[in-house]
Amino acid sequence: MVHLNWVLRVSLRYFFNIIELLIFLRIILSWISPGYGSPIARALYSVTEPILSPFRRLLARSSFGGGMIDFSPILALLAIRILAQPLAYYIVDLLTNPWR
């Protein structure tokens, strides 16, 4: 059971790290070329847009929205950092001890 807990925690950590990396790549890509020209850019935007769009809508309602700088990736990265650890522990506990 200990090995299963460890494997699940490490897998979830890698999952959240990959999401963070994809968001960072999108930030860098937006500085280099903001278009959807390449297939890599389209794939990156299609993977990260469902994560960033709720934060973009949240910012649009606040006083920070509507500017030239998109702060949604910063908020998404912050939320991932804050929620990843407790969420991972909850998911691992739920999957390894379903009858609690």
Question: What is the pLDDT confidence band of residue 64, given thresholds at 50, 70 and 90?
Answer: low
The whole-number pLDDT of residue 3 equals 79
Nearest Cα residue to 57 out of 69, 46, 66: 66
Residue 50 CA to residue 59 CA, distance in Å, equals 15
* Predicted confidence (pLDDT) per residue in 49-63, tens digit: 999 999 998 888 877
Residue spans per domain, the chain = 2-96
- pLDDT band per the 50, 70, 90 thresholds, residue 33: confident
Share of the chain above pLDDT 70, in %: 90
pLDDT of residue 34: 63
